[in-house]
Amino acid sequence: MVMGKLLGSVELRTAYEDVKSRIESAAARRGRRASDVVCVAVTKTATPDQIRQLIEMGHQDLGENRVQQLTQRVAVIDEFLARRRQLAGAVPRGTGDVPDKVRWHMIGHLQRNKVRQVAPLVQLIHSVDSLRLAEELDALGGKMDRTFDILLQINCSGEAGKFGVASPATIPLAEQIDSMMNLRLRGLMTMAPYSQNPEDSRPTFARAAEIFKDLLSDKIGGPHCNILSMGMSGDFEVAVEEGANLLRVGRAIFGDVPSDE
């Protein structure tokens, strides 16, 4: 990972290819197919140019953790895609595999008063961590005549001050959410405590995978409940080894902005 700077276009491609090949190797170590693992590119340190370049490389899944940044970036990228579509009308088809649309993921803490702003923009909300937030989303879905896909964020490291449902509360809350008409429970999301050593994340990820297995064996969520979102720049290979099928990777793709800037 290149720290302290954002990557230019050639470096961006190299970093992206590197992340993809590391995902492939980690999947292979567990006899899994890399195509079963989706990488969400977390754009919170990225420039709009970098996001556009990544899309032009065929990448479709993008994530943000802040509401304001999410709404701004959705608008910028929508405009970019609309312009591309106009151009595509003027030139012959079949050049490259640039997607027509992207999928946005809300990965950060969501306040109930921001639900209305966020839910209609995203494919998946990773960070549902309370009954009250779930109820708010369900009510909005009812008003809009829509179903929202969500993950339950769990805190299985027991770390204080972290968002997420405590492990013992996960299954009961999952059952409550499963009974809501306008929500579709797609699975679980977790974050490991910060550490320089990726191996430190393994127990947290293994615990999340166990709870995920319990969900599946209890048939909570039904056939759509099939997503385990875990692993970031520092620990995504360990996450894949422990069963993650959705990763959230920012700095390893885009580089890093010094925090004092």
Q: Which residues bind ligand PLP (CB under 6 A)?
A: 42, 44, 65, 107-108, 191, 232-234, 248-252
Q: Least distance (Å) from ligand PLP to the CB of residue 87?
A: 32
Q: Euclidean distance between the first and final Cα of the chain, in Å? A: 19
Q: Least distance (Å) from ligand PLP to the CB of residue 206?
A: 19
Whose Cβ is closer to ligand PLP: residue 225's or residue 239's? 239
The whole-angstrom separation of Cα 257 and Cα 65 is 16
Q: How many CB atoms lie within 10 A of CB 33?
A: 9
Q: How many CB atoms lie within 10 A of CB 244?
A: 30
Q: Least distance (Å) from ligand PLP to the CB of residue 208?
A: 14
Q: Least distance (Å) from ligand PLP to the CB of residue 127?
A: 7
DSSP of 167-204, one letter per residue?
HHHHHHHHHHHHT-TTEEEEEEEE-PPP-S-GGGGHHH
DSSP single-letter state for residue 158: -
Whose Cβ is closer to ligand PLP: residue 108's or residue 187's? 108
Whose Cβ is closer to ligand PLP: residue 65's or residue 123's? 65
Q: How many CB atoms lie within 10 A of CB 143?
A: 9
Q: Least distance (Å) from ligand PLP to the CB of residue 83?
A: 28
Whose Cβ is closer to ligand PLP: residue 231's or residue 243's? 231
Nearest-CB residue to ligand PLP?
A: 250
Whose Cβ is closer to ligand PLP: residue 84's or residue 202's? 202
Q: How far is CA 175 from the centre of its chain?
A: 22
